[in-house]
Structure 1
Amino acid sequence: MILIKNIEVYSPKYEGRKDVFVSGGKISLIEEDINFENKKIKVIDGSDKILTPGFIDQHVHITGGGGEGSFKTRAPEITLSKLTKGGITTVVGLLGTDGTTRSVENVLAKAKALKEEGITAFIHTGSYGYPSVTITGSVQKDICFIDEVIGVKLALSDHRSSHVSNLELQRVASDARVAGMLSGKAGIVVLHMGDSEKGLKPVREILDDTEIPVKTIRPTHVNRREELLIEAFDYAKIGGKIDLTCGMDDDLTPGKCIKRAIKDNVPTENITISSDGYGSWSNYDEEGNLIKMGVSSVSSLHKEFKSMINELEFTVEDALSYITSNVAKCLEVYPRKGCIKEGSDADILLLDKNLDIDTVIANGNLMIENKEVLVYGCYEHI
Structure 2
Amino acid sequence: MILIKKIEVYDPQYIGAKDVFISNGKITLIDDNIETFSNKIKIIEGNGKKLIPGFIDNHVHITGGGGEGSFKTRVPEISLSKLIEGGITTVVGLLGTDSTTRNIENLVAKAKALKEEGISVYVHTGAYEYPSPTLTGSVKKDIVFIEEVIGVKIALSDHRSSSLSYDELARLASDVRIAGMLSGKAGIVVVHMGNGKKGLRLINEVIDETDIPIRTIRPTHVNRKKELLVESLEYAKKGGIIDLTCGIYDELSPRNVIKRAETLGIPLENITISSDGYGSWSRYDDNGNILEIGASSVNSLYEEFKSMVLDLGFDLEKALKFFTLNVSIALNIYPEKGIIKENSHADLLIVDNNLEIKTVIANGELMMDEGQLLKKGTYE
Amino acid at match of 1:63: T
In the TM superposition, 1:172-321 aligns within 5 A as: 172-321=172-321
Alignment of 1:82-231 (within 5 A): 82-231=82-231
Aligned AA (1:266): I
Unaligned runs of 5+ in 2: none
Deviations 1:89-119 (A, max 9, x none): 0000000000111001111000000000000
Aligned mates of 2:67, 2:130 — CA distance in 1: 18
Partner of 1:322: 322
**Structure 1: which amino acid aligns with 2:131?**
P
Structure 2 SS opposite 1:140: helix
Match of 2:56 in 1: 56
User: CA separation in 2, counterparts of 1:159 and 1:331?
Assistant: 28
Amino acid at match of 1:306: K
Counterpart CA distance in 1 for 2:284 and 2:249 is 16
Question: What's the TM-score, normalizing by structure 1?
Answer: 0.99
**Misfit runs of 4+, over 6 Å:** none
| Equivalent residue, structure 1, for 2:4 | 4
Q: Secondary structure at the match of 1:81?
A: helix
Q: In the TM superposition, what is the alpha-carbon distance from 1:37 to its structure 2 partner?
A: 3.0
Distance in 1, matches of 2:222 and 2:74, equals 24
TM-score (norm: length of structure 2): 0.99
Stretches of structure 1 that go unaligned for 5 or more consecutive residues are: none
Does 2:339 align with 1:339? yes
Cα distance in structure 2, aligned partners of 1:256 and 1:367: 32
**Could you tell me which residue of structure 1 aligns to residue 34 of structure 2?**
34
Equivalent AA in structure 2 for residue 142 of structure 1: D
Q: Distance in 1 between matches of 2:238 and 2:37?
A: 53
Q: What is the rounded CA distance, in whole Å, between the counterparts of 2:269 and 2:379 in structure 1?
A: 39
How much does 1:289 deviate? Answer: 0.7
| Corresponding residue SS for 2:89 | strand
Q: Per-residue deviation at 1:311?
A: 1.1
1:190, distance to aligned residue in structure 2 (A): 0.3
**Partner secondary structure for residue 317 of structure 2:** helix
Partner of 2:366: 366
Whole-Å Cα distance in 2 between the matches of residues 180 and 303 of structure 1? 33
Question: In structure 2, what is the Cα distance between the partners aligned to 1:291 and 1:233?
Answer: 30
Displacement of 1:171 in angstroms is 1.1
Q: CA deviation digits over 1:261-302, x for unaligned, max 9?
A: 000000000000000000000011222111111100000000
Matched residues, number? 380
